[in-house]
Structure 1
Amino acid sequence: MLSFLCRALPGAGLLLPFPYALLAQTADSTGAARRFELGVVEVIGRRDTDTVGFAQNRLTALDFTRHQRLEVGRALNLLPGVALASTGPRNESIVYLRGFDLRQIPVFLDGVPVYVPYDGYVDLARFTTADLAEIRVEKGFASLLYGPNALGGAINLVSRAPAKPLEYSAAAGTFSGRGANLSVNVGARRGKFYAQASAARLRQEYYPLSADFADTRREKGDRRDNADRADTRFSGKIGFQPRPGDEYTVGYAIQQGRKGQPVYTGADPAFSRPRVRYWRWPKWDKETVYFLSRTSQANGAAYFKTRVYFDRFANVLDAFDDSTYTSQARPFAFRSYYRAYTAGGSAEAGLTTLAGHTPRLAVHYKYDRHREWNRGEPPRQFADVTTSAALEDVWQLTSRWRLAAGLSYDWRASHGAQDYNSTTREITDFAANDNAAFNLQGGVFYTPTAVGQLRASAARKTRFATLKDRYSYRLGQALPNPDLRAETAQNYELGYTRTPGKAQLGVQASVFYSRLDDVIQQVNNVQGQLFQLQNTGRARYYGGEIALNQQLTSALRAEANYTYLRRENQTNPELRFIDTPAHKVFGSVQYAPWDRLSLLGSGEWNSDRYSTSGGLRVGGFAVFNASARLRLIEGLTLEGGVNNVLDRNYALFEGFPEAGCNFFVNLRYQSR
């Protein structure tokens, strides 16, 4: 039947034969995954129940599986205030939170920073959701306990933790483009000890293009060329809980990936001349090891938490001569190497019974070292040390009123940066530079009923310039600027949340405004035709979000959210902000006619957006998806669906079309 709905079906390729899936009793958790509590960073003043469905600032494993979101980036797109984007020329999946990009919203795993230290970004398509219990998103008023650089918020990937003596789940499936996914989670809790292990594999040879895609000189047919990917992830942890309130855990995660870079198919001369990028990444690997602890007083009046971590990143980029991807003889072809690591830690202490106050103090230390070179060149090294101290408190004024406040001081010191002259083949040192910044925020929370809350908050946040911001020549087009200062943002929000009850509507609504100063922007023709990044910008972002959630009947559930976002470059209006639509709508309806069968329909609409600061746009689009889940026996579920049912030809970045109509089939097993 799917072959009649989606022409992509013949290209699926059963890389995981159905009998194999049955033998493996495949399936992932249906959403009952318990989160790892030590990996959560709580936001002061706000209840955990402030969130509604994924009107929330939180997504659970159930949300990932219901909507077939195998990657973190596409999972985050379910939330209001989040815009999914694609850095087309680098084939990376990124998101924006209320207009702030991934340099300004750091990504954490169980509270441990995992973003790439050189440029502050991380490719969210490389992170699968199979081993996660939830994703927590904080916007604007994010806890200062996260540490530095959370200018517009933070994203925390929270892993799983076992709740039973033995529990296990698995999933296997196939999807369009000869794609396959396989994941296994096993956990055990025995007495005071527990262990959790996960493995996931996600691969795809290509993705199908819409029938409406018009062939170009460099892209012909219905399959996107050089769009293959393969990502493998292993993670695990061992924990010890000697008594309630105390916990000590060692965790480990390793991610190994490779990907292609589809060619540009648009008409922008900046990409089509003088050459097209024939790029591949044969290596995109990340490895993280960490120790987390919490120690409490016997009466629970105080606690002490630590995080110690080491994160390593390795990346190889090949630029080829042409679409055969075999030769690197031409002047613009190269092989580039990145090697980086981060070592650091934090300590947090708090009181829980102090005359209505719950003060918390945290200190952070982070050492980043980055090395890069092209084949035939000597490596150059760059290093930064970033430290921070933060204090937060919540004052419970009455049973209905709470005040929350926090402040922090951050310091970033340069510990070496090397310059390379390709003509003389000499390495010299850039001038050292240091930078300091402070952050301040406060909020008022009013709870008139057991299910509703009103909130108002204001925050001053900062973000240090990355190593790439300060030292990169941008492939010979720019001048470095080691003396870049921190960007600042003043974030304001008014919001209301009502948690849904029986036959009641759940609501989350907010309006927000951010003023940005010392924005790092491109200044052209600083030396000849070379540009330079400078702290010359002022901007403002503002808008609103509303999310609704209701159980209409015992069998019918509906969810919807809408985001309006306006970004204005006040310093240089003709330089547009890219990658975010002004309007975004998402909605879904789930119908369960009987306890074994569940049907889901969802849709998303985005208005147009800029792809280049010069004004090149990509058109708005509407995409609809449909899926079904059937419980075969207790614990074993078969599911399948079609994404982009109407086969729309659309793009998140001009010249880089997204997948047309495509399908998936999965088999899932969850232990009882």
Structure 2
Amino acid sequence: MRKIYLFLFTALLFLGVKAQNNNTTHPDSLPISRRIFKLGEVKVTGKNGNANSTVNSEQIESFNKLDVAQALNLLPGVTLSSVGARNESVVFVRGFDLRQVPVFIDGIPIYVPYDGYVDLARFTTFDVSTISVEKGFSSIAYGANTMGGAINIISRKPVKQFEMDARSGWLSGQGHRLNLNVGSRIGKFYVQGSASQLKQNGFPLSDDFKPKQYEDGGKRDNAFREDSKYTFKVGFTPKGDDEYALSYVNQKGEKGNPPYVGDDPLQKARFWQWPYWNKESLYFISTTGINAKSAIKTRLFYDKFSNLLSAFDDNTYTTQKKASSFQSFYNDDTYGGALEYNIQPDTKHSLKASAQLKTDRHKEYNLGEPVRTFRDYTASVGVEDAYTVTDKLSLLPGISINLRHSLQAQNYNSTTKEVTNLPENENYAFNAQLGAVYRLNASNRISLSVARKSRFATIKDRYSYRMGAAIPNPDLKSETAMHFDAGYTGRFFDKLEIETGLFYSRLSDAIQQVNNVQPNIYQLQNTGKARFYGAELSLNYAVLKGWAAGGQYSYIHRTNLSNSALKFTDVPDHKVLLTSTYRYNGRLSVMASGSYNSERYSTSYGIKSGAFALANLSAHIKVYHGISIEGGINNVFDKNYTITEGFPEQGRNYFVNLVFNNL
């Protein structure tokens, strides 16, 4: 069987490789850019977007990436990882984690207030138009905490009087997907709605997996997931570029955490489940022209998050009698707003001034304990400019000042059963950046940038006792990074596209664990220094009509300058992705892809997850007008691998979808 798969994979790869950055659309489709909700974009004025920093809906569906974490892994410089103990899918952007690269939907912050993370596997891709990733140098309009960049998930906007996009599919692990997007644009009004469900009872392990305690092979134990999402947007475009839109998103999730089955004697299996992981967002975005040269953009938002973590005694998931068992409740909300003032005072300058204020509230308690409340507010003001020096050279300066102030923090003493208030604290951070873009000609450009970015300590950083292992440090300052970046984008002979980038980041005041502040007790302190550096390369080549070729390579190396014994985790030094697509007559497309990740550390004390290479096959067949069938095989050679040591990933798995759309 493996020889047959190898033959098919090699034959398709020989036909040509279509990189994930190819924007080819079906002949009867409108350009993808037409359906992007432009109000949801956040850009540095004058900075042209790079293909290796965005992934659109067609690419996402071509690769059958069902959640945002998997979709982002298609981009160079972005690494998929998994927080094994919590079964959370995250990504690293040039080595920076989600606390340092916050996540937004249409420019609205949606990361969890308590720890700054968000489980990207809970965000399905079925209603997404595009996902944009800023690396290091990013717009000041995002606000605070964009130390390593920003991730913006941009929703859809209809362009036709009536449009529909629907998929119903089956996937391995007793799973299915159901999703429907419906939109309408009539005159000056538009509406867009969606409903979806992704459900899986588990996933198949590789036949090469050797049974261990808590995992006998076959279907991965306690790896179930169910994610439902409903969205609605209504918009009004009265005149010119003026636009007003109100959006609502409701997500409901449920998941299990597969137990640890690795070889690290310091790790223990945890028997955790989340009966609910729910998020709800309501936001308003508008842009109003003042005159021909200026406009005001407004964002107002309210975001609510709640979940329940149930820790059980053993892998029967029925009893909670041990000291390690508990039921932990989180109830968080965030509300705030942002204003942007855009003006072009002359032909040389395009200025943007922005101000943002948001308040975060985190409530937590274990069953039988009182509620503890934590509240912060974060403010940011800044300005950026696109200065056209010549018709070839543009400069992109920007500065901002951020403030984080603690409004409330409570501590619970389990011995006295009392809740006490902790002292308030605040921290300021200054950010500055300068970019330059030089256009050699219409198809080739060079970019350079330097940026000083920061991140405030989260509520968890400052106040968590880490189950008795740590001492809180409310006075933690922000950590900072200096980024240096050089890039080149070019197109030759209308066939070859090249994008390259070199980057170097120096971290200071990094929040790092300091051991034995008290006997066997650690504390987080601003003692860390580190450097991250690397390179990215993307190639696309149109071989013949219907065939295209390309690929990508990422190199990321991170060094802890303060304590070489503490290893940075979850990011391999080397990552490669190759894909191959053959399209015939607008009715058939067949794709093969291959990826490679070098080994990576899974713990700060040196336990590694090994290198691996994967191969995938898929096909899309247009049956009649807007009706299509698609299917594929992932991990064709049934590789037994991990991205976090002790947590094996899916072996060979399959999917089949029935598709209908009139896009």
**TM-score by shorter chain over 0.5:** yes
| 1:244 shift after superposition | 1.2
Structure 1 residues 501, 68: CA separation in 2 closer, same or farther (over 3 Å shift)?
Answer: farther
Match of 1:592 in 2: 583
Match of 2:160 in 1: 164
| 1:269 shift after superposition | 2.4
Match of 1:147 in 2: 143
What amino acid maps onto 2:459 in structure 1?
A: L
Are residues 1:189 and 2:185 paired? yes
Matches within 5 A, 1:186-225: 186-225=182-221
SS of the residue 1:271 aligns to: coil
| 1:221 shift after superposition | 2.5
SS of the residue 1:542 aligns to: strand
Are the counterparts in 2 of residues 31 and 60 from structure 1 also a CA contact under 8 Å? no
Structure 1 residues 562, 641: CA separation in 2 closer, same or farther (over 3 Å shift)?
Answer: same
| 1:499 shift after superposition | 4.5
Are residues 1:482 and 2:474 paired? yes
Are residues 1:531 and 2:522 paired? yes
Which of 431, 448, 451 aligns to 2:443? It is: 451
Which of 464, 476, 485 aligns to 2:456? It is: 464
Match of 1:285 in 2: 278
| 1:432 shift after superposition | 1.2
Given the two structures, how large is their TM-score scaled by the length of structure 1? 0.94
SS of the residue 2:267 aligns to: helix
**Structure 2: runs of 5 or more not aligned:** 7-28
Are the counterparts in 1 of residues 45 and 350 from structure 2 also a CA contact under 8 Å? no
Matches within 5 A, 1:230-379: 230-272=226-268, 276-299=269-292, 301-379=293-371
> Could you report, residue by residue, the CA deviation over 1:513-571 in whole angstroms, capped at 9, with x for unpaired residues?
00000000111111111111110100000000000112111111122110001100000
- The CA distance in 2 between the partners of 1:30 and 1:180, in whole Å, is 28
SS of the residue 2:498 aligns to: strand
SS of the residue 1:447 aligns to: strand
> Could you report, residue by residue, the CA deviation over 1:419-442 in whole angstroms, capped at 9, with x for unpaired residues?
110011011112211000010000
Are the counterparts in 1 of residues 385 and 398 from structure 2 also a CA contact under 8 Å? yes
| 1:201 shift after superposition | 0.4
> Could you report, residue by residue, the CA deviation over 1:278-302 in whole angstroms, capped at 9, with x for unpaired residues?
1000110000000101001352x11
> Could you report, residue by residue, the CA deviation over 1:252-279 in whole angstroms, capped at 9, with x for unpaired residues?
001000000100001222222xxx2110
Are the counterparts in 2 of residues 639 and 665 from structure 1 also a CA contact under 8 Å? yes
| 1:593 shift after superposition | 3.6
SS of the residue 1:653 aligns to: coil
Match of 1:550 in 2: 541
What amino acid maps onto 1:180 in structure 2?
A: H
Are the counterparts in 2 of residues 31 and 65 from structure 1 also a CA contact under 8 Å? no
- The CA distance in 1 between the partners of 2:655 and 2:323, in whole Å, is 42
- The CA distance in 1 between the partners of 2:243 and 2:217, in whole Å, is 56
- The CA distance in 2 between the partners of 1:500 and 1:217, in whole Å, is 56
| 1:637 shift after superposition | 1.1
- The CA distance in 2 between the partners of 1:181 and 1:556, in whole Å, is 30
> Could you report, residue by residue, the CA deviation over 1:213-234 in whole angstroms, capped at 9, with x for unpaired residues?
1100111021100000000001
Structure 1 residues 501, 637: CA separation in 2 closer, same or farther (over 3 Å shift)?
Answer: farther
- The CA distance in 1 between the partners of 2:287 and 2:493, in whole Å, is 34
Are the counterparts in 1 of residues 432 and 451 from structure 2 also a CA contact under 8 Å? yes
Are residues 1:653 and 2:654 paired? no
> Could you report, residue by residue, the CA deviation over 1:611-655 in whole angstroms, capped at 9, with x for unpaired residues?
000000010000000001100011111101000000000001000
- The CA distance in 1 between the partners of 2:494 and 2:380, in whole Å, is 45
Match of 2:63 in 1: 67
What amino acid maps onto 2:322 in structure 1?
A: R
- The CA distance in 2 between the partners of 1:31 and 1:198, in whole Å, is 20
- The CA distance in 2 between the partners of 1:328 and 1:610, in whole Å, is 33
Are the counterparts in 2 of residues 162 and 194 from structure 1 also a CA contact under 8 Å? yes
| 1:43 shift after superposition | 2.1
What amino acid maps onto 2:395 in structure 1?
A: L
Structure 1 residues 499, 143: CA separation in 2 closer, same or farther (over 3 Å shift)?
Answer: farther
Are residues 1:520 and 2:550 paired? no
Match of 1:47 in 2: 48
Are the counterparts in 2 of residues 30 and 62 from structure 1 also a CA contact under 8 Å? no
- The CA distance in 2 between the partners of 1:43 and 1:166, in whole Å, is 33
SS of the residue 1:75 aligns to: helix
SS of the residue 1:649 aligns to: coil
- Provide the alpha-carbon RMSD of the alignment: 1.6
Structure 1 residues 5, 329: CA separation in 2 closer, same or farther (over 3 Å shift)?
Answer: farther
- The CA distance in 1 between the partners of 2:625 and 2:30, in whole Å, is 12
SS of the residue 1:473 aligns to: coil
- The CA distance in 1 between the partners of 2:630 and 2:80, in whole Å, is 25
Given the two structures, how large is their TM-score scaled by the length of structure 2? 0.95
What amino acid maps onto 1:372 in structure 2?
A: E
Which of 105, 123, 126 aligns to 1:127? It is: 123
| 1:409 shift after superposition | 0.1
Match of 2:558 in 1: 567
Are residues 1:37 and 2:30 paired? no
Match of 2:14 in 1: none
Are the counterparts in 2 of residues 173 and 180 from structure 1 also a CA contact under 8 Å? yes
| 1:595 shift after superposition | 2.7
**Structure 1: runs of 5 or more not aligned:** 7-28
SS of the residue 1:489 aligns to: strand
What amino acid maps onto 2:566 in structure 1?
A: L
Are residues 1:669 and 2:657 paired? no
- The CA distance in 1 between the partners of 2:345 and 2:64, in whole Å, is 43
- The CA distance in 2 between the partners of 1:172 and 1:116, in whole Å, is 31
Are the counterparts in 1 of residues 167 and 660 from structure 2 also a CA contact under 8 Å? yes
- The CA distance in 2 between the partners of 1:354 and 1:151, in whole Å, is 32
- The CA distance in 1 between the partners of 2:129 and 2:648, in whole Å, is 31
| 1:347 shift after superposition | 0.3
Match of 2:97 in 1: 101
**544-553 or 593-602, larger mean C-alpha shift:** 593-602
Match of 2:501 in 1: 510
- The CA distance in 2 between the partners of 1:38 and 1:58, in whole Å, is 17
Match of 1:643 in 2: 634
Are the counterparts in 2 of residues 30 and 61 from structure 1 also a CA contact under 8 Å? no
- The CA distance in 2 between the partners of 1:501 and 1:204, in whole Å, is 46
Identity %: 48
Are residues 1:577 and 2:568 paired? yes
- The CA distance in 2 between the partners of 1:57 and 1:147, in whole Å, is 20
Are residues 1:173 and 2:160 paired? no
**475-484 or 649-658, larger mean C-alpha shift:** 475-484
| 1:596 shift after superposition | 1.2
- The CA distance in 2 between the partners of 1:545 and 1:662, in whole Å, is 30
